[in-house]
Structure 1
Amino acid sequence: MAHITIIGTGNMANAIGGLFADGGSSVTYIAREAVGTAAVEGDIVVLAVPYPAVDGILAAYEGQLAGKTVVDITNPLNFETFDELVVPAGSSAAALIQHKLPASHVVKAFNTNFAATLASKKVGDLDTTVLLAGDDANAKAQLAAAIEAGGVSAIDAGALSRAHELEALGFLQLTAAVGEKLPWTGGFAVAR
């Protein structure tokens, strides 16, 4: 299976890493304190950090990320107000990352999932589904295969430009959870 490096060690990093490990992928973690000193391994790198930490990671690893699939899980919220996204209108965090990493294949994924639903592989009575957006078909297929091997579904939501809609959906879900309108163990699901 795949060899995956996850930058971050929080709840989402551990839930995503556990999912990949369940599918037989080998997973390496880089703690935020070790960014720039630990090497990136494998073909898939997951940015499992808050959006404000992304620029420092990209600066530290730009050369090592060339040719790799870089998975952006962020929701670029204004965490002070929880009232807006902090990327330009019509754009996305994933598009901005792709612009900064032209030699990498950026895929938006996991931003519409909560850690608990990745760990349990359920959203209520439905199976967890990970939505993917990216411009490189091979990168999306490789990531989808690793996700599905871990026991959840993956749906290709289209080109990287669709990351804008995924981030809007993630924003809506997060604000609903913060406002206690839905539990952190729940969320939006795809019925098939």
Structure 2
Amino acid sequence: MASMTVIGTGNMGSAIASVAAKGGASIQIVARDIAKAQQLAAQVGGTADEFGDALTGDIVVLALPYPALEDVVKTYGAALAGKVVVDVINPVDFATFDGLTVPSDSSAAAQLQVALPGAKVVKAFNTNFAATLFSGEVGGVPTTVVVAGDDDIAKAQLTEIISAGGVVVADAGGLKRARELEAVGFLQMVLAVREQVAWTGGFAVRA
């Protein structure tokens, strides 16, 4: 089983680390607040390090807000070469909450791949609310993580961990599909903010 580094200790970082730990992966938690990193690491049986320390995971999950990507690239650009980098981000314009901040023909994941040419970027988890990863279900349907990426081996490595953690995976194809995934993620957030769906619910995928 591959090892995983989760950068970020918010709801999504905590949920993803929990799923990966259930799947038997060794987990490293990285955050600027070392106390929060240590707290989450204790919960998932992992290790904790401060942002800027060496990354130990074969798979690196960026459970961060969109503006933080620039700092990740600046700090870890060379170290991420050859690694599977999982982009969880929905680049929402939180000033207006009326759209995405990336160009209409691009995505946060595509921008990240350009900034990290040596990494294998996979879009995943951005269409899931954290609560559905913890519970493993959405309205009685098993939680499905939709992934997109150009490297099939990278997607398979991530899928192995997620599946072992009890979550279903659906492969949407190449990284160009990240644009659609980010739009779906944004729409789901809008519905939750407008109280049309609960933060414990959201979109489900049924085969």
C-alpha distance in 1 between matches for 2:104 and 2:32: 29
Instruction: After TM superposition, give the deviation of residue 35 of structure 1 in Å.
Output: 2.0
Alignment partner of 1:112 out of 127, 146, 150: 127
C-alpha distance in 2 between matches for 1:53 and 1:188: 26
3-state SS of paired residue (2:77): helix
Which residue pairs with 1:174 in the alignment?
Answer: 189
- Deviation track 1:33-62 (CA, whole Å, cap 9, x = no partner) reads 4322x2111210000011111111111000
Alignment partner of 1:74 out of 89, 92, 95: 89
**Is 1:147 the equivalent of 2:183?**
no
Unpaired runs of 5+ residues, structure 2, are 34-49
Q: Is the 8 A contact 1:22 1:150 kept in 2?
A: yes
3-state SS of paired residue (2:145): strand
C-alpha distance in 1 between matches for 2:18 and 2:57: 17
C-alpha distance in 2 between matches for 1:11 and 1:2: 23
C-alpha distance in 2 between matches for 1:65 and 1:186: 33
Unpaired runs of 5+ residues, structure 1, are none
Summarize the alignment of residues 156-171 of structure 1 with structure 2, pairs less than 5 Å apart.
156-171=171-186
Which residue pairs with 1:32 in the alignment?
Answer: 32
C-alpha distance in 1 between matches for 2:162 and 2:124: 10
TM-score by length of structure 2 reads 0.91
C-alpha distance in 1 between matches for 2:70 and 2:191: 27
Which residue pairs with 1:45 in the alignment?
Answer: 60
Which amino acid counterpart does residue 64 of structure 2 have in structure 1? V
Instruction: After TM superposition, give the deviation of residue 188 of structure 1 in Å.
Output: 0.2
Which amino acid counterpart does residue 66 of structure 1 have in structure 2? A
Alignment partner of 2:141 out of 126, 130, 152: 126
Which residue pairs with 1:137 in the alignment?
Answer: 152
C-alpha distance in 1 between matches for 2:96 and 2:152: 36
C-alpha distance in 1 between matches for 2:4 and 2:32: 16
Which residue pairs with 1:189 in the alignment?
Answer: 204
Q: Is the 8 A contact 1:131 1:157 kept in 2?
A: yes
Q: Is the 8 A contact 1:35 1:57 kept in 2?
A: no
**Is 1:56 the equivalent of 2:84?**
no
Which amino acid counterpart does residue 62 of structure 1 have in structure 2? G
Instruction: After TM superposition, give the deviation of residue 73 of structure 1 in Å.
Output: 0.2
Sequence identity of aligned pairs in percent?
Answer: 59
Q: Is the 8 A contact 1:92 1:167 kept in 2?
A: yes
Instruction: After TM superposition, give the deviation of residue 167 of structure 1 in Å.
Output: 0.3
C-alpha distance in 2 between matches for 1:179 and 1:57: 32
Instruction: After TM superposition, give the deviation of residue 32 of structure 1 in Å.
Output: 3.3
Q: Is the 8 A contact 1:7 1:32 kept in 2?
A: no
